[in-house]
């Protein structure tokens, strides 16, 4: 049977070089391939990261990394002057506190130069020498990969943090936790986003993202204090019950006291509650007996109760201390 076909799609196509398919396509990620094909389709037109990102539903950081990848692979040539790596040499130093650490980094390190280029492009600024030295410390001394630091910049900027000092703090925290790849960092930040969402939901604020000050509180509770989500949410629930309004300051006071007491989980919180209830009951009984005339028999009974309550408190404190040591 013979067919007579009318093609609905007119031939107005984009030619993909065979060399790209044969030598490069299999090695690259799908995101990078899509960026390349989009740029190939629009070659000769003015292109920027924002336009490409919007068209492909990517972030600008995704696009910048893809262009950088193809540029390094020799597939694309970006007609834009790169910002040099501030001519860092072995004599340059980076200050951490009162200690001087040498930045032993060759000025012609292509990966580091590319890192600075991408970071400055993403942040839409030219780094000072001092800011370059901070990245040199993270890259050269802490040995954090360039790709990880590129993701660090993207992550911080997307969350409203454009301070390089803040980025340095996050990077050092990742280093301490042994995070060495973009995949590990994404997993870690995704976990934090879930924690932050849970806190905002507990406060009835799940229609928006946490503000900068609120985010600092949340980061402190989970990262500095090391509390589990259950413990933090319990503090949030108690805040709402006591103040009838979402108060990060009030919740922080609760969690600070729990941190001082050595709380690690909800069982520790329950133990502290029992101790507090016992102490309050003993004080109430003591006040009730003040100013009253009591015979020796009744006095002995009260003394026995007071001693019993005190012994109970002591036992509970010993129980809590034992749990904290586990």
3-state secondary structure of 162: coil
Q: Are 282 and 313 in contact (CB under 8 A)?
A: yes
Looking at mean pLDDT, say which of 45-59, 76-90, 184-198, 224-238 comes out highest: 224-238
Mean pLDDT of 102-116: 72
The dihedral sign for the CA sequence 214, 215, 216, 218 = positive
Split at pLDDT 50, 70, 90, the class of 150 is very high
Both structure tokens of 261: 């007491």
Distance CA 35, CA 66 (A): 7
- As a whole-number percent, the residues of the chain with pLDDT over 90 amount to 25
Query: Virtual CA dihedral for 147, 153, 157, 160, nearest 10 degrees?
Result: 120
Hey, which CATH number is domain 93-179, 3.30.300, 1.10.3470, 1.10.10, 3.90.550? 1.10.10
Q: In the structure, what pLDDT confidence band is assigned to residue 15 with cuts at 50, 70 and 90?
A: confident
* Residues composing the chain: 326
Residues with Cβ within 8 Å of residue 20, at least 6 apart in sequence: 36, 75
For the entire predicted model, the pTM comes to: 0.46
pLDDT number for residue 56: 87
Map out the domains of the chain as residue ranges: 18-72, 93-179, 186-260, 266-288+310-326
Provide the b/e sequence for 171-201 (b: ≥16 CB within 10 Å): beebbeeebeebeebeeebeeeeebbebbbe
Give ∠ CA 78-81-82 in degrees, rounded to 5. 95
pLDDT bucket at 92, cuts 50 / 70 / 90: very low
pLDDT at 82: 44
CB crowding 144-161: b at 16 or more within 10 Å, else e:
bebbbbbbbbbbbbebeb
How many whole angstroms separate alpha carbon 227 and alpha carbon 204? 21
**Alpha-carbon gap, residue 269 to 236, rounded angstroms:** 14
Q: What is the pLDDT of residue 83?
A: 44
């Amino acid at each position: 049977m013979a067919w007579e076909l009318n093609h609905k799609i007119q031939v107005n196509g984009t030619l993909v070089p065979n060399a790209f398919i044969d030598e490069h396509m299999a090695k690259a990620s799908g995101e990078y391939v899509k960026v390349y094909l989009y740029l190939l389709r629009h070659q000769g037109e003015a292109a920027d990261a924002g336009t490409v990102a919007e068209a492909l539903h990517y972030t600008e950081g995704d696009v910048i990394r893809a262009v950088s990848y193809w540029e390094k692979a020799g597939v694309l040539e970006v007609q834009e002057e790169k910002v040099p790596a501030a001519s860092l040499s072995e004599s340059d130093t980076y200050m951490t506190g009162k200690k001087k650490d040498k930045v032993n980094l060759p000025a012609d390190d292509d990966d580091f130069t590319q890192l600075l280029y991408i970071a400055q492009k993403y942040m839409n600024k030219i780094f000072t020498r001092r800011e370059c030295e901070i990245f040199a410390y993270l890259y050269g001394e802490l040995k954090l990969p360039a790709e990880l630091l590129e993701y660090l910049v993207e992550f911080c900027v997307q969350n409203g943090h454009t301070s390089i000092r803040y980025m340095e703090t996050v990077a050092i925290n990742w280093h301490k936790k042994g995070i060495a790849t973009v995949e590990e960092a994404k997993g870690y930040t995704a976990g934090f986003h879930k924690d932050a969402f849970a806190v905002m939901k507990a406060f009835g604020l799940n229609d928006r993202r946490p503000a900068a000050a609120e985010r600092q509180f949340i980061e402190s509770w989970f990262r500095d204090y090391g509390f589990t989500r259950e413990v933090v949410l319990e503090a949030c629930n108690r805040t709402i019950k006591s103040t009838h309004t979402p108060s990060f300051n009030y919740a922080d006071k609760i969690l600070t006291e729990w941190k001082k007491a050595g709380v690690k989980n909800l069982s520790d919180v329950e133990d502290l509650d029992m101790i507090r209830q016992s102490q309050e009951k003993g004080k109430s009984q003591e006040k009730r007996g003040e100013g009253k005339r009591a015979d020796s028999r009744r006095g002995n009974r009260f003394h026995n109760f007071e001693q019993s309550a005190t012994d109970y408190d002591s036992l509970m404190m010993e129980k809590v201390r034992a749990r904290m040591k586990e």
